[in-house]
Amino acid sequence: MAVASPYPLIDIPEVDTWTFLFESKRDFADDKVIFLDPTTFRQYTYHELKQTAIAFGHALRSQWNWKKDDCIGFYSPNCVDTPALTLGAFWAGAVVSPANPAYTAAELAFQLKDSGAKALITQAPCLKVASEAAKIAKIPQNRILLIGDERSSQVQHFSQFISSAKNSPLSKRVPCKPSEMCFLVYSSGTTGLPKGVMLTHRNTIVNLLQTDSVQTDLTHDGGVDGKGDTVIAVLPFYHVYGLQYEILYMVHLGLKVVILSAFTPDAFCQAVQDHKVTFGYLVPPIILFLAKSPLVDKYSLRSLTSGMSAAAPLATDLVEGVYNRLGLRVKQAYGLSECAPAITTMEINDWRTKIGSVGKVLPNQIVKIMSEDERLLSTGSDGEIWVQGPNVFPGYLNNPTATANCMTPDGFFKTGDIGHFDKDGYLYITDRKKELIKYKGFQVAPAELEGLLIGHPKIGDACVLGVYEESQATELPKAFLVKSEAAKDHDDLVLAKEMHEWISRQVAHHKRLRGGICFVEAIPKSAAGKILRRVLRDQIKITEGKNGQVKSKL
C-alpha cells in the first residue's frame, strides 16, 4: 500500500541552513544558552554560537582561501565546540563530513580521500590517528585544528585560528542554493566500504520542519523551572541522528542542550540529575540501561519525563519498564541517513497506545510497502519500505551504481527495511531486509525475537543471528544473550534450557531458537545503538576456529 502523510503539507523555504537558523524569525533571546558542557561548564549562548561561527567561517575564507563546496572533516567525540564550527563551515559555504572517532587511521583516511576533505577538525586525544590519516589523505598538518579544552604544540587550536584572522578584512558569507550539499555523512558500511550520503540544505531544513509538525513535548515554557526544556545530547554528532536533532534542531528551537562526549552510565545520570534534563534523544541500549540497571536508583532522574528512541528497534517491554520505573515516556521514530533522517515519528500522546509503532508518515512524504517482486502490499502485510519526499537524499557521492540500485525512476528510495502499516496508518518496523533469517522458506525477524528475550527478567540484552546448518540446508535462529544482574550466577546450561523452553512457548514453530543459545559478556553495538551483527559473526568465527565450537563466553 502507498501511504501519504496525514499531516498538512508544509511550505519549504528556498534558503540555506545558515539563513534558516540565523536569519529567520525566532521566539527566544540572544542570551539563551543553547550548548553546555556539564564537565567544564563551558557554554554557548545563541549569540555566542552565531558570532563564533561567523568568526570561524571568516578565518576559513581569509586564512585558507576556502572555496564554496570545499569539504571539511570532523573526527572527534561530542564536543561543545562542534556546533559552532559546523555552522561556521556552513557560513563559508563548506560541506561538513563527520567521521566516527573510533575509526582507525586507514578508515579515517578512506573517508577523507573519498570526501575530498581539505581540512580536519579533531581533539587532542584523537590527534595521533587524525595526523596519520591526514598524511595518507594528503591533508597538510597545518590544516588540522583542535577543539575542546586540550592544546597541542603540533597543531593550532581553533581559537588561535580565529584570532589569526582578526585583522583580515571581513569576508562575506557564502550563500548556498537549497539543492547544494551541506552534509556528507557516511553509511555504516555493513556490506562493504562506507558510502558517502549526500544531504542538501533542503534535505536538512525540510526534516526539521517535518519534525515540527509532530513536536509538542519540547517548549520554551517547559522544563522544571518553566524556562524551557533541557535536552541531553549523548548521541554521536558524527551520526545524522545526532547532527540533526541535537545540533540543528536545538538551534532552531532555542533550547538548552547538555552535551556528553559519550554515554557512560554515571555521567549520563549525573547530568540528568544536576541539570534537570527533561528530554533525551536516545537509543535502545540507553533505554535498556534506564529500565534495568540498579545504578539508576542512586540518582534522581524524575525530571526526565519524555524521550525519543530511534536508530534500532525498541522492545515493548522496555517502553513499559522505563515508564513504570521513572515515569519516562518514550516515543519512537524511524529514519535513515538517506532521509535526513526521519521518515516517521510518533506523537508523544501515542507513546502508550501504539507501543511498537514508529509513528505516522511525516509531512510531504509518501511511503510504500513493497513485495520482493515489487508489488504494492496491503495493510498489515510486511514488505520493504520505500519512501519519496523532499527529505530524501540525491544520492551517494561518486557511486552512481549504488544510487541507481536504491532509487526508483520516480524518486522512491528503497530503504532495505521491512515493515507494515496498521489500519490507522501507523508504521511498524519488522527488520532489516538483509537481516531476515530464512528458515526452510519461512522468514524470521531477529528484532522480534530480540524484543521478547530482552523482556525476560533474566536477560539483560540479546542478539539473534541466522547460522547456516548444512545438514538441513537452511539457516537456524541462534540467540546470543547477556545475563541480567539478577541471573549473573545462574548456570549457563540450565538457563539456556530454561530460555529455550520459554521462547518456544512465545513464538510460532518456525521462529524457535533451533540454532541454540550462547551467553556472551556483551552485545557489540554501534554508537547509534545498532547491533553490530557482522562483528558478532566475526567473533564467532574466531572462537570456532580456535576451539572448534562456540563457548559460553565470547
Three-state secondary structure of 258-297: EECCCCCHHHHHHHHHHHCCCEEEECHHHHHHHHHCHHHH
Set of cell numbers at residue 214: 509532530
C-alpha dist (Å) from residue 157 to 108, 144, 149, 387: 21, 9, 9, 42
Helix 105-115 to helix 127-136 angle (10° resolution) is 50
Give the sign of the dihedral formed by CA 399, CA 405, CA 411, CA 417: negative
Structure confidence at residue 470 (pLDDT): 72
Strands across the sheet with 516-519, in order?
Answer: 459-469, 474-483, 516-519
Q: Which residue in 315, 443, 331 sits closest to 381, CA to CA?
A: 443
Give the sign of the dihedral formed by CA 424, CA 429, CA 434, CA 439: negative
Strands 437-439 and 442-444: antiparallel
Phi, psi of 183 (to 5 degrees): -120, 145
Q: What is the pLDDT along the chain (554 residues), one digit of tens a residue?
A: 799 999 999 999 999 999 999 999 999 999 999 999 999 999 999 999 999 999 999 999 999 999 999 999 999 999 999 999 999 999 999 999 999 898 889 889 999 999 999 999 999 999 999 999 999 999 999 999 999 999 999 999 999 999 999 999 988 999 999 999 999 999 865 445 789 999 999 999 999 999 999 999 999 988 999 989 999 999 999 999 999 999 999 999 999 999 999 999 999 999 999 999 999 999 888 998 999 999 999 999 999 999 999 866 677 888 999 999 999 999 999 999 999 999 999 999 999 999 989 999 999 999 999 998 999 999 999 999 999 999 999 999 999 999 999 999 999 999 999 999 999 999 999 877 778 787 876 778 888 899 899 999 999 999 999 988 877 777 899 999 999 999 999 999 999 999 999 999 988 888 899 999 999 999 998 877 888 888 888 777 665 544 333 333 33
CA Rg, the chain, in Å? 24
* pTM across the whole model: 0.84
Structure confidence at residue 188 (pLDDT): 62
Structure confidence at residue 539 (pLDDT): 76
3-state secondary structure of 112: helix
C-alpha dist (Å) from residue 360 to 273, 320, 414, 425: 32, 21, 18, 6
Q: Domains along the chain? A: 436-547 (3.30.300.30)
Structure confidence at residue 469 (pLDDT): 83
Output the 3-class SS for 206-251.
Answer: HHHHHHHCCCCCCCCCCCCCCCCCEEEECCCCCCHHHHHHHHHHHH
Query: What one-character DSSP code corresponds to residue 468?
Result: E
Structure confidence at residue 313 (pLDDT): 66
Set of cell numbers at residue 437: 533469517
What is the spatial distance between Cα 380 and Cα 377, in angstroms, rounded to a whole number? 8
What is the spatial distance between Cα 495 and Cα 491, in angstroms, rounded to a whole number? 6
Structure confidence at residue 542 (pLDDT): 63
Give the sign of the dihedral formed by CA 406, CA 407, CA 408, CA 413: positive
Set of cell numbers at residue 17: 541552513
CA angle 398, 410, 95 (to 5 degrees): 35
Phi, psi of 417 (to 5 degrees): -100, 150
Q: Are 513 and 503 in contact (CB under 8 A)?
A: yes
Output the 3-class SS for 133-152.
Answer: HHHHCCCCHHHEEECCCCCC
What is the spatial distance between Cα 29 and Cα 499, in angstroms, rounded to a whole number? 56
Q: Which residue in 282, 233, 235 sits closest to 44, CA to CA?
A: 233
Query: What one-character DSSP code corresponds to residue 154?
Result: S
Residue whose C-alpha cell reads 540454532 in the numeric block: 515
pLDDT in tens, 13-32: 999 999 999 999 999 999 99
Set of cell numbers at residue 487: 541471573
What is the spatial distance between Cα 8 and Cα 119, in angstroms, rounded to a whole number? 42
Q: Which residue in 131, 137, 132 sits closest to 110, CA to CA?
A: 137
Residue whose C-alpha cell reads 545558515 in the numeric block: 18
What is the spatial distance between Cα 236 and Cα 212, in angstroms, rounded to a whole number? 22
Residue whose C-alpha cell reads 581539505 in the numeric block: 118
Give the contacts of 306 (CB within 8 A, at least 6 positions apart): 217, 278, 279, 328, 329, 330, 331, 348, 351
What is the spatial distance between Cα 164 and Cα 64, in angstroms, rounded to a whole number? 11
Instruction: Tally the residues of the chain.
Output: 554
3-state secondary structure of 490: coil
CA angle 508, 511, 515 (to 5 degrees): 145
Q: Which residue in 80, 22, 96 sits closest to 54, CA to CA?
A: 22
